[in-house]
Amino acid sequence: MAKRPKVLVLFDVGEPTSLDVDYTEDLKSPTWKTERHVLNALRSLGYPFSVLGVHDNTALIREMISRFQPDVVFNMVEQFANSLSNETHVTSYLELQGVPITGCGSIGIALAKNKILSKKIASFHGIRVPRFTVHEPGKIVSMGEELEFPLIVKPVHEEASYGISLKSVVHGPEELLSRVCYVHEKFEQDALVEEYIDGREIYVGVIGNDRLQCLPPREMTFGKNVPRESRFASYNVKWDESYRERWGIKNRFPSSLEKQVENKLNQTCKELYRALNLKGYARMDFRLTAKNEPVFIEANPNPMLAKDEDFALSARKAGIDYPKLIGRIISLAA
């Protein structure tokens, strides 16, 4: 039997921390679901592991690595000093420690998280993306003459649908101006304005470094009473359970997706994954038009790994049970 790798698991914590913190109680909380699932998987794989919460102290990471001498760092850190924009930097720091890390490297994270650059790269590769413009705070909001309403207005640096609500979809210049100003004032960042792509919301998990495997797609579906233009993943749609229930919103395996369409999605995913320098595992988000054309919305490096989230559910459908998935991710650590 191959030697079991020693795994150092790093995850985000919201406050200054130290070595040897006992997280037993925290791990019981629903918000620690992903960490709990990953650690349980490591236990069932029999991998020796240690954990470290990361807040804003790189020295602790170094100290932990030198003390524990891990073979692999399982990287679940998505922010540093409470800032999501530090994900790239903290990943670079981990790369400099000379220990293989799971998931995507800093370059892939930097490219994929940049909603403008990633679409430009996709477009270069002939992959359809929504046409877009960017509005900087403090500049006159000119009408992107080539864009057609409805448009969707998003804060350029947020994630998890922060700042995306039903009001994000605008139908004319007045609504556009008002929503762009809202993004500038509330988020103090550029507003990304894209053509709203009417269609199905599809997520495809990809796993691998050189040889890539696309997992069975997932679809977010909406109840009959939800108007077409409200069928997108706003903040409430993603995170508010009672809202989801009220509007019949579900994440599921699509009941009807022709093999040909799935093949096209998979081919597009692989191209994007390589073009964006992604490694380990990622989830690609698309809108699928009425003509079954995939339109690339976003790539998510290191997507949520909880057992009951889309990525792991897709893996399970592909015959990769949860511990096996975690083991695979560890073996892909570069």
Ligand X SMILES: Nc1ncnc2c1ncn2[C@@H]1O[C@H](COP(=O)(O)OP(=O)(O)O)[C@@H](O)[C@H]1O
Q: Which does 196 bind (CB under 5 to 8 A by kind): Mg ion, ligand X, none?
A: ligand X
Are the CB atoms for 123 and 129 separated by under 8 Å? yes
- What is the C-alpha separation between 220 and 236, in angstroms, rounded? 13
Q: Are the CB atoms for 101 and 94 separated by under 8 Å? A: yes
Which CB, 93 or 182, lies closer to ligand X? 182
In sequence order, what E strands does the chain have?
Answer: 7-12, 49-54, 72-76, 132-135, 151-155, 169-170, 191-195, 200-208, 212-214, 218-221, 250-252, 280-288, 294-301
> Among residue numbers 23 through 42, which ones bind Mg ion (CB under 5 A)?
none
Sole window of 81-89, 103-111, 216-224, 294-302 interacting with Mg ion (rule: CB under 5 A): 294-302
Burial 77-108 (b: 16+ CB within 10 A, else e): bbbbeeebebbbbbbebbbebebbbbbbbbbb
Closest to ligand X by CB, 8 or 305: 305
Binding site for ligand X (CB under 6 A): 115, 130, 152, 154, 158-161, 164, 194-197, 201, 232-233, 285, 287, 297-298
Query: Strand pairing of 151-155 and 169-170?
Result: antiparallel
Residue 285 CB, nearest distance to Mg ion (Å)?
Answer: 5
Q: Does 158 bind Mg ion (CB under 5 A)?
A: no
Piece of 190-198, 238-246, 297-305, 309-317 that binds Mg ion (CB under 5 A) = 297-305
100/130 with CB nearer ligand X: 130
Indicate the residue among 81 and 160 with the shorter CB distance to ligand X: 160
Output the residue with the shortest Cβ distance to Mg ion: 298
Residue closer to Mg ion by CB (options 26, 298) is 298
Say if residues 121 and 296 touch (Cβ distance below 8 Å).
Answer: no
Candidate segments 20-28, 47-55, 131-139, 291-299, binder of Mg ion by CB under 5 A: 291-299
The residues that touch Mg ion, with contacts defined as CB under 5 A, are 298
